[in-house]
Amino acid sequence: MTIFAEGKQEQELTSDWQARDHRHYLHPFTDHRELGNKGTRIITAADGVYIRDSGGSEILDGMAGLWCVNLGYGRQELIDAATRQMQQLPYYNSFFQTAHPPVIELSTLLNEVSPPPFKHTFFTGSGSEANDTVVKLVRRYWDLLGMPGKRVIVSRINAYHGSTVAASTLGGMSEMHKQTGVLLPDVEHIEQPYQYELSGGLSEAEFGLQQAGLLEQKILELGAENVAAFIGEPVQGAGGVIIPPETYWPEIQRICRQYEILLIADEVITGFGRLGEWFGSQRLGIEADLMPFAKGVTSGYLPLGGVLVADRVADVVIARGGEFAHGYTYSGHPAACAVALENIRILRDEGIIERVRDDTGPYFNRRWAQLADHPLVGEARSIGLMGAIEIVADKIRKERFPKDLGAGAICRDFCFDNGLVMRAVGDSMIVSPPLVMVRKQFDELVEKAWQSLDLTAKTLGQAL
């Protein structure tokens, strides 16, 4: 896999790449001064569940890229599908009463793998655009039903729904709200079902009902005639893998039905197998009206997103609504659709999602739970192939380290140096491995995480 450039080895090029990266490239969600001092890690190649950096280190990718490389790296079938489609028809739009075979085939296949009410898909280039689309679909739906007053979308603190203005408004990240300035009106946030931080001694079941009840309180406060929809990730991802108690989603569902509010399950991370079902909603018993997706639909090989639209909404907006004034140049991009088709076929024909459900998922859950025995770990939780551990100074009292020590960032850096990608959200460490990871690689993941925690404990011990 060694790649040479201009006859020089990657290692020799690293400092030049880092210098030019610093001079010219604006990274997403990055403090550039800090990065400039440290130097960017340059990733040059990947195969299976490993990435490789320009220093020649092989690193186990515990994050599947950014929650997306579900099939792992180097699947020739996906590369061939993109190549064939680019040769045949690299681009065409579907704005003016046209379409092309890949987008039609993909819409059909998505209907086959999703729950029965989802027969239509609107395509976008990303998850953020999918959530912008959701806002417009929701508003259009209630307008067409003669209830334009139903405008408010209720979301959750610490949710992540993307980075465009609409999607960052829907999300519940306070730093993003501050920097965005003018936010979309008519979006409200309720507290999240984060048991480790917020349960205050309630049982898991009680806490789930209590947090879902916050939606009912919000609806009563605003008046149901003003509330259009509730949006939530089945399991919050970027917020720190927040797994809701089992009582949470059924109660949310009941409330949405009772007050006639659309339910949006943001499946951008949980779609396409991450929880051992095609969609996280199926694992958690959610019957949503809209399901935005992205990431795993192409295993990240090409950018593609979209919204699965249930009949309840499609019958109004598409069948009765005239023109829906919304669309993107890359809605249903042929090459991205061709990759998605092949990706979904492989997930289905190789039984990868069933394997996550019946074998690798439970194995990962057992191994991951063992991290709770580490002195630094307050909780180790996981569901399907999503996991989090809470780094704490005192396990019994659930006491955190002082924020400025950056315990999570220290651990993340040790992981990288130890050959493992594990992401830090504050002092929560999270993973979301490729769905093709095998038992021996989960063992490696957990062993490397443990070693990195040991080193983190040592460093923090010295710092305290």
**What 3-state class would DSSP assign to 429?**
strand
Token pair of 34 as six digits: 């800090």
Stretch that binds ligand PXG, among 82-90, 189-197, 232-240, 397-405 (CB under 6 A): 232-240
By the rule CB under 6 A, 165 interacts with ligand PXG = no
Residue 176 found at the interface with ligand PXG (CB under 6 A):
no
x/- binding map, residues 399-438, to ligand PXG, per CB under 6 A? ----------------------------------------
Asked if 292 and 127 count as a contact pair (C-beta separation under 8 A), the reply is: yes
Q: Tell me the window of 70-78, 231-239, 308-316, 412-420 that interacts with ligand PXG (CB under 6 A).
A: 231-239
Nearer to ligand PXG, 70 or 131 (CB): 131
Amino acid at 288: A
> Which of 52, 139, 151, 161: binder of ligand PXG (CB under 6 A)?
161
Indicate whether 61 belongs to the interface with ligand PXG (CB under 6 A).
no
- Asked if residue 230 binds ligand PXG (CB under 6 A), the reply is no
Of the candidates 54, 114, 121, 126, which one interacts with ligand PXG according to CB under 6 A?
Answer: 126
Q: Is residue 160 part of the contact set for ligand PXG (CB under 6 A)?
A: yes
**Cα separation of 158 and 290, whole Å?**
21
Q: How many helices (H) and strands (E) would you count in the chain? A: 18, 17
In the complex, the smallest distance separating the C-beta of residue 98 from ligand PXG, rounded to whole angstroms, is: 26
Please provide the size of the chain in residues: 464
Nearest alpha-carbon partner for 239 in 182, 193, 179: 193
CB nearer ligand PXG, residue 294 or residue 338: 294
Complex with ligand PXG: residue 127 or 276, whichever CB lies closer: 127
Burial classification of residue 397, based on how many CB atoms lie within 10 Å of its CB (0-12 exposed, 13-18 middle, 19 or more buried):
exposed
Angle at 437 between CA 431 and CA 443, to 5 degrees: 75
Counting contacts by CB under 6 A, is residue 13 touching ligand PXG?
Answer: no
Helix (H, G, I), strand (E, B), or coil: what is residue 5? strand
Alpha-carbon span 394 to 368, nearest angstrom: 20
The C-alpha atoms of residue 433 and residue 438 are separated, in whole angstroms, by 10
Residue in 227, 238, 352, 446 binding ligand PXG, rule: CB under 6 A:
238
Upper half-sphere CA count for residue 306 (Cβ side, 13 Å): 27
Binding interface with ligand PXG (CB under 6 A) = 66, 126-128, 131, 160-163, 233, 237-238, 266, 268-269, 294, 305
